[in-house]
Structure 1
């Protein structure tokens, strides 16, 4: 027969296991095919795609009319060997996905430019949201000579942009924590 402490340990293990399984069923954001190249205008540009897969809870919220806002951060840093790296420049892009039930369409808005595109299916809309095309990172003349640089990028679902009544639930549920790992790409 298990002691009271043993029962608590078993219960805790079950809760942690259930939380791990719930996290595994949640969504993911993964970087696909990043390319950094020097363009004709002498600027370093980044092109990449994030594969965004929504978990069931987030997908249901989207189909119920909840707008989803995704943040993309591209940062150029020195690689000087220190545990902290000094940021040289940073670029943020925000994109919003909304399901239009009456039109059976998904609207993607680039919040930095105001450009709007509509899609008939969710996978095409998510592919568009995750696509970063020829983003200007820095002019080659602005780089410090003799220093190595790395581009750090990540993507995440912005919980703060959710409707206020939904935020407490989103903060307490791992289903809503949708973010990529931090990726680092050396500047050639």
Structure 2
């Protein structure tokens, strides 16, 4: 009797896990969050490379619902300075994660965008305007000229990601499993000038 109930529990658990991880369940929602980087370039000012970038960010319906219900979203602009190599992996010279927290405050009906490094906060009436500000990087200091080998070539890479591990615990499993909780987009690469 005990062996039979264990077997029955194992079969039920296996069926549940198969249903949860099936492609139809995981990828059924075509509503996805996107980060489309239209421009990223650096310029040298006073021996420091500054980054200017424009990115169009859009959130999925699940992310917007969570945001409008008081759950903050942490988004990271991932910036790398790399030295490309022909026959080996690229050498990562500098790796920067510029993190922001986006939160909606129901009482004031405002979206607050916080730079987690500096603590600077900006208020917006709509999530669209907050996402526009998040995707607009201007005059961001990346690396000094002295830190680079003057005879080598360098490139920059920019991508965006949502920090799923900063979501409330009950949402994390769903966020890891379902595509509508992933911020998709190509990594943008440019030559350091």
- Measured against the shorter chain, the TM-score band is 0.7 to 0.9
Q: Equivalent residue for 1:5?
A: none
Q: Equivalent residue for 2:192?
A: 187
Where structure 2 has 5 or more consecutive residues not aligned to the other structure, the ranges are 1-21
How far residue 16 of structure 1 moved from its aligned partner, in angstroms, is 4.5
Give the secondary-structure state (helix, strand or coil) at the position aligned to 1:167: helix
Moved more, 64-73 or 78-87: 78-87
Task: Give the CA RMSD over aligned residues.
Answer: 1.8
Q: Equivalent residue for 1:8?
A: none
Q: Within 5 A, what are the aligned runs for 1:41-80? A: 41-80=46-85
Moved more, 127-136 or 103-112: 127-136
How far residue 129 of structure 1 moved from its aligned partner, in angstroms, is 1.4
Q: Equivalent residue for 1:25?
A: 31
- Are the equivalent residues in 1 in contact too, given 2:32–2:184 (CA < 8 A)? no
- Are the equivalent residues in 2 in contact too, given 1:67–1:162 (CA < 8 A)? yes
Moved more, 64-73 or 24-33: 24-33
- Are the equivalent residues in 2 in contact too, given 1:154–1:179 (CA < 8 A)? no
Q: Equivalent residue for 1:4?
A: none
Q: Within 5 A, what are the aligned runs for 1:95-174? A: 95-174=100-179
Find the aligned partners of 2:124 and 2:84 in 1 and give their Cα distance.
Answer: 41
Q: Equivalent residue for 2:94?
A: 89
How far residue 136 of structure 1 moved from its aligned partner, in angstroms, is 1.3
**CA 1:137–1:53 in 2, change beyond 3 Å: closer, same or farther?**
same
Q: Within 5 A, what are the aligned runs for 1:5-20? A: 16=23
Tell me the TM-score normalized by structure 2. Answer: 0.83
Deviations 1:118-145 (A, max 9, x none): 1111111111112212111221222112
Q: Does 1:178 align with 2:183?
A: yes
How many residue pairs end up in the alignment? 173
Find the aligned partners of 2:176 and 2:39 in 1 and give their Cα distance.
Answer: 31
Tell me the TM-score normalized by structure 1. Answer: 0.85
Find the aligned partners of 1:74 and 1:94 in 2 and give their Cα distance.
Answer: 11
Deviations 1:38-95 (A, max 9, x none): 11x1111111022110111111111111100001111111112134111111222100
Which runs of structure 1 show a deviation greater than 3 angstroms over 4 or more consecutive aligned residues?
Answer: 15-21
Find the aligned partners of 1:168 and 1:16 in 2 and give their Cα distance.
Answer: 16
Where structure 1 has 5 or more consecutive residues not aligned to the other structure, the ranges are 1-14
